[in-house]
Amino acid sequence: MLAYLPEAISLAFSWHALIALVAASVLGVVVGVLPGLGSALGLVMVLPITFGLEPVAAIAVLVSVYACSIYGGSVSAILINVPGTPQSAATVMDGYPMAQQGKAALALGWATMGSFIGGMFSLVMLVLLAPELARFSLRFGPIEIFALILFAMTTIAWVSHGSMVKGVLASLIGVFLSFCGPDDLTGQLRFDFDIFELSGGFELVPVLIGIFAMSEILVQAAFMKDASAPMVIEGGFKLAPWPEWRARWVTLLRSSGIGAFIGILPGTGATAAAFIAYADAKRRSPRSANFGHGEPEGVVASETANNAVSGGAMIPMLALGIPGDGVTAIMMGALTVHGIIPGVFLFRDQPDLVTSLFVLFFLANIMILVVGAAGAGLYAKLLQAPISLLMPAVVALSFVGAFAMRTNPFDFAVSIVAGVVGFLLRLNGFPLAPIIIGFILGTPLERSVRQGLIMTDQSFLAFFNSPIAAFLFALTALVLLQPLVKLAIRALRGTSNGA
Partner 1 sequence: MHEDQNTATRIHPDFFFGLVLLIIGVALLWHTTSERYDFDPLFDDVSTVYFPRMILILWVALSAILIVSGLRGRGSEEDRARLMAVGLPRLFLVLAVIIASALVLWLTGLLIGGPILMVAVGVALGYRRWVILVPVSTVLPIVIWFALGKIARISLPSGILWD
Q: Which residues form the interface with partner 1 (CB under 8 A)? A: 48-49, 51-53, 162-163, 165-166, 168-169, 172-173, 175-176, 179, 183, 185-186, 188, 190-191, 193, 214, 217-218, 220-224, 226-227, 386-389, 391-393, 395-397, 399-400, 403-404, 407, 409, 412-413, 416, 419-420, 424-425, 427-430, 445-446, 449-450, 453-454, 458
Nearest distance in Å: CB 74, partner 1: 26
Q: What's the CA dihedral at 453, 457, 458, 459 to 10 degrees?
A: -100
The smaller minimum CB distance to partner 1, of residues 295 and 411, is found at 411
Nearest distance in Å: CB 381, partner 1: 13
The b-or-e profile of 386-421 (16+ CB within 10 A means b, else e) is: ebeebbeebeebbbebbbbbeeeebbbebbbebbeb
The smaller minimum CB distance to partner 1, of residues 33 and 402, is found at 402
What contacts 226, CB < 8 A, 6 or more positions away? none
Nearest distance in Å: CB 476, partner 1: 13
Cα separation, 368 vs 72, whole angstroms: 9
The smaller minimum CB distance to partner 1, of residues 365 and 415, is found at 415
Are 280 and 258 within 8 A, CB to CB? Answer: yes
Are 4 and 357 within 8 A, CB to CB? Answer: no
Nearest distance in Å: CB 41, partner 1: 15
The smaller minimum CB distance to partner 1, of residues 175 and 346, is found at 175
Give the DSSP letter string of 255-279: HHHHHHHHHHSTT-HHHHHHHHHHH
What contacts 404, CB < 8 A, 6 or more positions away? 48, 51, 205
| CA 287 to the chain's CA centroid | 32
The smaller minimum CB distance to partner 1, of residues 49 and 354, is found at 49
What contacts 423, CB < 8 A, 6 or more positions away? 214, 215, 218, 219, 222
Give the DSSP letter string of 376-421: GGGHHHHTTS-HHHHHHHHHHHHHHHHHHTT--THHHHHHHHHHHH
How far, in Å, are 92, 262, 321 from residue 274 at the CA level? 11, 10, 25
The smaller minimum CB distance to partner 1, of residues 359 and 414, is found at 414
Nearest distance in Å: CB 201, partner 1: 13
Nearest distance in Å: CB 15, partner 1: 14
Cα separation, 248 vs 299, whole angstroms: 11
How far, in Å, are 73, 120, 421 from residue 270 at the CA level? 12, 15, 26
The smaller minimum CB distance to partner 1, of residues 49 and 281, is found at 49
Nearest distance in Å: CB 318, partner 1: 25
Nearest distance in Å: CB 434, partner 1: 12
The smaller minimum CB distance to partner 1, of residues 227 and 499, is found at 227
How far, in Å, are 92, 279, 299, 378 from residue 292 at the CA level? 9, 11, 10, 27
The smaller minimum CB distance to partner 1, of residues 181 and 323, is found at 181
Nearest distance in Å: CB 130, partner 1: 30
The smaller minimum CB distance to partner 1, of residues 138 and 229, is found at 229
The smaller minimum CB distance to partner 1, of residues 40 and 49, is found at 49
Nearest distance in Å: CB 349, partner 1: 26
Cα separation, 93 vs 69, whole angstroms: 19
217-220, long-range: CB < 8 A, 24+ apart: 217/391, 217/394, 217/395, 217/398, 217/419, 218/419, 218/420, 218/423, 219/423, 219/426, 220/36, 220/387, 220/388, 220/391
Nearest distance in Å: CB 154, partner 1: 11
The smaller minimum CB distance to partner 1, of residues 297 and 411, is found at 411
Nearest distance in Å: CB 120, partner 1: 31
Are 328 and 312 within 8 A, CB to CB? Answer: no
